[in-house]
């Protein structure tokens, strides 16, 4: 990985950490933010993509999936979601 690619990956992870902790719904901020702080650095590229897609889902819906209050649709029922649970 060259310096430019590494830099871009670092910037992407920083942006995801920020977005995860600033969703606008306090409980989701806590769950997603703490997950990002603890695990984002160790995720695979595919899991990072899944996390980024999950951050696009409305707060209440994504939070319900993570805490097991609602079933996630097949496209979101991934190993990342299992790890978050």
pTM across the whole model:
0.89
Whole-number average pLDDT of the chain: 93
Burial class for 2, CB neighbours closer than 10 Å (0-12, 13-18, 19+):
exposed
pLDDT given at position 41: 93
User: What is the distance between the alpha carbons of residues 79 and 24, in angstroms, rounded to a whole number?
Assistant: 25
pLDDT given at position 24: 85
């Amino acid at each position: 990985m060259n310096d430019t690619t590494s830099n871009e990956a670092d910037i992407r992870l920083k942006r995801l950490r920020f977005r995860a902790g600033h969703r606008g719904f306090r409980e989701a901020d806590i769950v997603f933010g703490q997950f990002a702080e603890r695990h984002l650095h160790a995720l695979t590229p595919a899991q990072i993509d899944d996390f980024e897609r999950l951050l696009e889902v409305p707060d209440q819906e994504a939070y319900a999936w993570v805490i097991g209050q609602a079933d996630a649709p097949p496209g979101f029922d991934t190993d990342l979601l299992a790890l978050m649970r």
